[in-house]
Amino acid sequence: MSRSMLMKLTPFLMVVALAAHLPLFAQTTAKTITIVVPYPAGGPLDISARILAEGARSKLDSTIIVDNKPGAGGTIGANQVAKSAAGSNQLLMGAVATHAANPWLMPNYPFDPLRDFKPVSLVAQIPNVLVINADVAAKLNIRSTADLVAHIKKNPGKLNYSSGGNGSIGHIAGEMLKSLTKSSMVHIPYLGAGPAQLGLLSGQVDVMFDNLASALPQIRAGKLLALGVTTQKRSEALPDVPPINDSIKGFDVSTWFGIFAPSHVADADVQKYATAFADAMNAPENKEKFSKMGFTPERLSPAEFAKFVQTEHAKYGALIKAAGIKID
């Protein structure tokens, strides 16, 4: 090949060489982000994490996977993210249990929920609802929270209630009811809220404090009877169901969950995550998905979410100590 022809081909060859390396460059710089859900698949936290993973993938230019790590009321999965190495790109779908309640319930809690995490995005606040198996309600003539309290006072220890595990918000709500009414029910912990609800539907247990998102379809189907919501205001999704506080003064519990980053993540990356997940939550198609689960996505800045978590942590500490609640 002549020198003149080689000089003419050189620019073309350089473009070809660069193009050949572009896929390799993109592959080596692509990032995989893992959202750890510390509860079993199929629940509201898991479903929400998968909606966010799909919605934020393009905004973060990353592959986002969801990894379920259930156990110990959410502590196992949360601890994994708290102790994760820098660069592992792990995030946590944390909740009221992992960051506000469990630290006060479990001796030697393996991480500090305020120091070891940076709050990114609050996804939702959802009332819990006190539900009873519809057949049990009909058999015992229980139609309200007041009816339930009257029955368990007359029959101490005869009814039982399920929860998603020791230290779960359902467990705390059940112990709060017992404490405030000076009554007795047997606690049956399950490995997650989904199995706990199946136990209720099958008649293995009688009562449950379930989150509204997962209970709503069964309430509408007539399989569960809603006795009361755990917040001090009625829920738009169940406008005819009164707050438990109407019958049991001082009762106020809600479920919330959101995305957390381990403390070693840079503030700039926290903000980048927050923007991407907020946009994903508020995309019209995703707002519709959340609405079907009975809630509207929140939109707090990382700083506002951090202040919210601090307030909830202090609130549940005072509540648990006042009620004398302990895990089984």
Given this model, what pLDDT does residue 107 score?
84
Instruction: Look at residue 189 and tell me whether its pLDDT is greater than 50.
Output: yes
Q: CB within 8 A of 290, min separation 6: which ones?
A: 48, 51, 124, 281, 296, 297
Tell me which residue of 261, 287, 305, 267 sits closest to 55, measured CA to CA: 287
Q: Which amino acid is at 192?
A: G
* Cα 169–chain centre separation: 10
Tell me which residue of 143, 149, 163 sits closest to 210, measured CA to CA: 163
DSSP assignment of 16-28 equals HHHHHHHHHHHHH
DSSP 8-state assignment for residue 100: I
Tell me which residue of 83, 100, 94, 85 sits closest to 36, measured CA to CA: 94
Over the stretch 194-215, which tens digit does the pLDDT of each residue have? 899 999 999 999 999 998 888 9
Domain boundaries, the chain: 29-126+255-323, 127-246
Place 44 in a pLDDT band, splitting at 50, 70 and 90: confident
Question: Which residues in 230-241 are b (16+ Cβ under 10 Å) and which e?
Answer: bbeebbebbeeb
Over the stretch 89-129, which tens digit does the pLDDT of each residue have? 999 999 999 999 999 988 899 999 999 999 999 999 888 99
Given this model, what pLDDT does residue 318 score?
85
Per the listing, tokens 């519809």 go with 134
256 phi/psi in degrees, rounded to 5: -140, 155
Given this model, what pLDDT does residue 214 score?
86
DSSP assignment of 66-92 equals EEE---GGGHHHHHHHHTPPTTS-EEE
Asked if the domains 29-126+255-323 and 127-246 are classified in one and the same CATH topology, the answer is: yes
Is this model's pTM higher than 0.85 or not? Answer: no
CATH number of the structural domain 127-246: 3.40.190.10
- Please give the structure tokens belonging to residue 139: 């058999």
Given this model, what pLDDT does residue 57 score?
95
Given this model, what pLDDT does residue 30 score?
53
Confirm if 38 and 193 have CB atoms less than 8 A apart: no
Q: What architecture (CATH level 2) is domain 29-126+255-323?
A: 3-Layer(aba) Sandwich (3.40)
Given this model, what pLDDT does residue 254 score?
83
